[in-house]
Amino acid sequence: MTERVVILGASDNPTRYAFRALNALTRHGHEVVPVNPQLSEVAGKPCVAQLDDVVGDIDTITVYLRPELGEPLADAMVAARPHRVIFNPGTESVKLKRRLEDAGIRVQWECTLVLLASGRYES
């Protein structure tokens, strides 16, 4: 199933996992929306400055921000109403997990790249 996936903390550095995830998600046929206030484009895809700038439905948000950067975005994540949020290794926050689950949003503490490679990415 093709999904619309937001990469929160997108990077244009090919050595970063966020960059690798963008390419892997694209190869798997997903529509990817990178989010980073410092970039205008990532791997040829237009980048939006903040989550509130994403227009339309979001299936998954995959997080590549450490907790102290991700937690202040709780309201924006809840308002975006994704079906799920994936917290990649190093981004996990119990506080944010509770907030999202209380809003009825499914949370996974997984690696997007591993989910894709193992065929377990399905939402």
Q: Which domains does the chain have, with CATH numbers?
A: 4-118 (3.40.50.720)
Q: What is the pLDDT of residues 82-92, one digit of tens each?
A: 999 999 999 99
Find the mean pLDDT for residues 63-77.
96
The answer to whether 27 and 19 are in contact (CB under 8 A) is no
pLDDT at residue 84, rounded to an integer: 97
Rounded to the nearest integer, the mean pLDDT of the chain is 95
Q: pTM for the whole thing?
A: 0.94
| Burial track 11-48 (b if 16+ CB lie within 10 A, e otherwise) | bbeeeebbbbbbebbeeeebebbbbbeeeeebeeeebb
